[in-house]
Amino acid sequence: MRATWLGLTGFALIAVSYGLARFAWGVMLPDVMRDISFTPQLAGMLSACSFIAYCLAILAAPLLSARAGPRLPAFISSLSAASGLLLIAVAHSEWLLALGLFIAGLSAGLASPAIAAAVSQTIADTKQPKMNMIINAGTSAGIIVSVPVLFWLPGGWRMACTLFALLALLCAFPVWRILPKEKLSAQSAPLPGFWRHRALQRLMAIAFVSGIASAAWWSFGPELLHRLGMAQGTISLLWVTAGAAGIAGALTAPLASVIAMKQIYRLSQCCLALPLLLIAFSQHFSWWLFPSVALGGAGYVTLSGVLLVWGAAATESAPATGVSALFFMLALGQVVGSMLFGQIYALTNSGTALLIFAALPLLLVFAIRKQHRRV
């Protein structure tokens, strides 16, 4: 029963910190750009604020978990999501938006390592990959919730952010009651030391480039679709399709018993490139966009799940640190990707930017030579 409650609590925290506090920004971006006028370059920099905060938080999270146990960083994650979303809700300038996105971005960086540490303390070793995959799929649940709220709730994106903040605050109560507060001395190794860990080096490079590629969709997807002349309702449906398909990430662990994890990784990279390629060659709405963005959403969540499992397995004595190292590089790539895509988009056109970014995951298909011995 304790494992079930931990799974539900972790799933909810990931849904709030990733789906609402982090990725909901992408779908509300066109409306925010209309209300608070700014350029694509500035949109890329604003998106980068969230990813920068994520990088900083994920560096601090393992040390905080080691010293205070998983409960405290997870609790702070809920509070930062709530406060950041409230700031976004009341923002009337780019600076306040940047501050809100930064504070909200801290949430996801604190959540993943804390949950990984809690799972390693509570769940049997053989069941940890499956539990981590299920919890990681909470990202999709948050995205699924965000779209109808943003589309139908009176008051637009400002009222939606207020509601998201309330949900984040409510999440703090089960986090405080369910997550363990005990610390493990094995988790006290500093993150920079593991950057020299041979088993992590190739994985960190893969995570970084994957982050660059994923920023094209998660930071600019709805804006690109809007510029193709699509109605907001269609854009919202495409976004929720991408989010809903990400639930497939929960099936990664069972699927790994049939297909090798490195093959799942390769499929996820191909799926990540597919919607970028289709949008690059689209001049108007096509029904093919629905299956392509679904595969893209499933590919991203599955890829992050694979990195989560590989990171935890590569640093068995400190799973939170291994997860943090790879998720840090994924987010660092998204910082670079958001700013880089905004610049290429403004200087050339969306098609050129999308083709460049779609090439990255296709090249990464060949980056894995062998699996870690446990995965």
Helix (H) or strand (E) holding 139: helix 138-152
HSE on the CB side for 326, CA within 13 Å?
29
Residue 63: per-residue pLDDT: 80
Residue 233: pLDDT above 90?
Answer: no
Residue 257: per-residue pLDDT: 64
Instruction: Calculate what percentage of the chain has a pLDDT beyond 90.
Output: 33
pLDDT digits (tens, 9 = 90+) for 132-165: 878 888 888 898 888 889 888 888 899 999 999 9
Sequence-separated (6 or more) residues with CB below 8 Å from residue 263: none
Residue 219: per-residue pLDDT: 81
Q: Angle at CA 8, nearest 5°, toward 169 and 152?
A: 55
What is this structure's pTM? Answer: 0.78
CA-based R_g, the chain, Å:
19
Average pLDDT over residues 334-354: 88
d(CA 153, CA 136): 27
Across 218-222, 233-237, 288-292, 303-307, which has the greatest mean pLDDT? 288-292
Residue 104: per-residue pLDDT: 95
pLDDT digits (tens, 9 = 90+) for 53-99: 988 898 888 788 778 888 999 999 999 999 999 999 999 888 999 99
pLDDT tier at 174, thresholds 50, 70, 90: very high
Per the CB < 8 A criterion, the answer to whether 111 and 17 are in contact is: yes
Lowest-pLDDT range of 37-41, 120-124, 222-226, 317-321: 317-321
Residue 237: pLDDT above 90?
Answer: no
Residue 238: per-residue pLDDT: 86
Residue 152: per-residue pLDDT: 84
- First-to-last alpha carbon distance for the chain, in angstroms, is 27
* 3-class secondary-structure state, position 179: coil
Which pair of structure tokens corresponds to residue 182? 């005990």
H helix count then E strand count, the chain:
16, 0
Residue 59: per-residue pLDDT: 82
Average pLDDT over residues 15-39: 87
d(CA 321, CA 62): 6
Residue 372: pLDDT above 50?
Answer: no
Phi-psi group of 69: left, alpha or beta (phi > 0 → left; psi -120 to 50 → alpha; rest → beta): left
Residue 185: pLDDT above 70?
Answer: no
d(CA 78, CA 173): 9
Per the CB < 8 A criterion, the answer to whether 73 and 356 are in contact is: no
Across 34-38, 66-70, 113-117, 208-212, which has the greatest mean pLDDT? 208-212
Residue 190: per-residue pLDDT: 52
Sequence-separated (6 or more) residues with CB below 8 Å from residue 223: 29, 30, 33, 40, 43
d(CA 143, CA 120): 26
* 3-class secondary-structure state, position 190: coil
pLDDT tier at 373, thresholds 50, 70, 90: very low
pLDDT digits (tens, 9 = 90+) for 262-284: 888 999 999 999 999 999 888 77
Per the CB < 8 A criterion, the answer to whether 42 and 32 are in contact is: no
Sign of CA dihedral 259, 260, 261, 267: negative
Average pLDDT over residues 164-179: 94
Domains present along the chain, CATH in parentheses: 1-180 (1.20.1250.20), 195-374 (1.20.1250.20)
d(CA 363, CA 351): 19
